[in-house]
Amino acid sequence: MTKKNQPILIIGAIIIIAVIIYLFTQTDRKVADGSGDSSEPIVIPTHNWSSQVVMAYVIGGIFEKNGNNVKYVPADSQAVYESIRIGDVTISHEVWESAFGKSFTTALDKGGILDWGDHEARTLEDMGYPNWVAELCPGLPDWNALKSPDCAKNFVTPDSGGKGRMLEGPQTWHGDLIPQRIEALGLGDLWTVKFAGSADALWAELKAAKKEGRGTIIFNWTPNFTDGAGFTFIDFPPYTAGCRPVDGGDGKCGSPDGYLKKAVNADFPKTHPKAAAMFKKLSFSTGQIGAMAALVDIDKMTHEDAAKKWLKDNKKVWKKFTK
């Protein structure tokens, strides 16, 4: 070996050592110390209703307490299952059967996403009213009461064109499901459906109607903070498989008593086995989910502060999922 070649060989050796060190540190970075979980962040979606966002921070907080890294991303509540399937999002913690069941099962059929079990809570998503409204439409909660012009006139608003108004949630949640139902039931001459821009707009409508002393019918769901506040769902014709227009049905049916599921990217149990096992065990009740929403919608806390308070006040609930 000539002295002329020695510097080149030394530089080459340094480069090789640097590459080895880099690859080693990258491997070490991928696996958290002792846990077997990747240190890559678990990507949790946030949507546009309170319980879902608070629960996102609750679950993220549990992950973080167990040594995982977490990232929160706003996501469309229908498209999120495709995002999970392709790996842009890691989990979904509120898969509501009535609103999102079809998008979820479509993604499942394609592969890349796993059904990760149910919450204890069961769900209902439909149109209803605060209990003080019942006297304005005798016969409620039977949907047939809506056939009466004397009922409908008590729900007229400036934007309803002389018809009784029903205020649906954002159109991205259900599309034209409720307008189709109203037409299928022969109520289109008396009622119109308008769409709220957000969940907050629904709660603002409840307050405004009570203040103005007028009737209101809005979209709502359970579990929610309204569970203990005197709210009744309208009894529409019962749901059966295939009854909705999107499935070839006549569209007259109400919503199902549905599941509240969890979903994960198919690689999650491999990259984050500890976190995946915890998330598999995680299951919240109707009361627990309603309480999460109430911290924001009644107590006016931020979603992040609500999650911190819930975690602090409910250690016995969530710690059992980590064992």
The amino acid that residue 282 corresponds to is: L
Mean pLDDT of 213-237: 95
* Average pLDDT, rounded, for the chain: 91
**Secondary structure element (H or E) that encloses residue 220, with its range:** strand 217-222
Query: Residue 306 — left, alpha, or beta (φ > 0 → left; ψ -120 to 50 → alpha)?
Result: alpha
Cis peptide leading into 158, omega within 30 of 0?
no
Tokens matching residue 3 = 């002295």
* pLDDT for the residue 33: 42
Tokens matching residue 83 = 């995002």
CATH superfamily of 124-247: Glycine betaine-binding periplasmic protein; domain 2 (3.40.190.100)
CATH superfamily of 34-122+258-322: Periplasmic binding protein-like II (3.40.190.10)
Strand pairing of 113-118 and 260-265?
antiparallel
Tokens matching residue 116 = 């990760």
Q: Where are the domains of the chain?
A: 34-122+258-322, 124-247
pLDDT digits (tens, 9 = 90+) for 263-322: 999 999 999 999 999 999 999 999 999 999 999 999 999 999 999 999 999 999 999 999
Centre a 10 Å sphere on the Cβ of residue 279 and count the other Cβ atoms it contains: 24
pLDDT digits (tens, 9 = 90+) for 139-178: 999 999 999 999 999 999 999 999 999 999 999 999 999 9
Is-contact 91 84, C-beta < 8 A? yes
Q: How far apart are CA 121 and CA 222, in angstroms?
A: 9
Tokens matching residue 310 = 């819930």
CA distances from 214 to 187, 201, 223, 286 (A): 20, 17, 26, 30
Residues 6+ away with beta carbon under 8 Å from 47: 53, 74, 75, 76, 77, 80, 94
Are 34-122+258-322 and 124-247 in the same CATH fold? yes
**Secondary structure element (H or E) that encloses residue 217, with its range:** strand 217-222
Q: Which of 96, 140, 98 is nearest to 253 (CA)?
A: 98
The amino acid that residue 199 corresponds to is: A
**Secondary structure element (H or E) that encloses residue 105, with its range:** helix 97-110
> How many angstroms separate the first and last alpha carbons of the chain?
61
Does residue 4 carry a pLDDT above 60? Answer: no
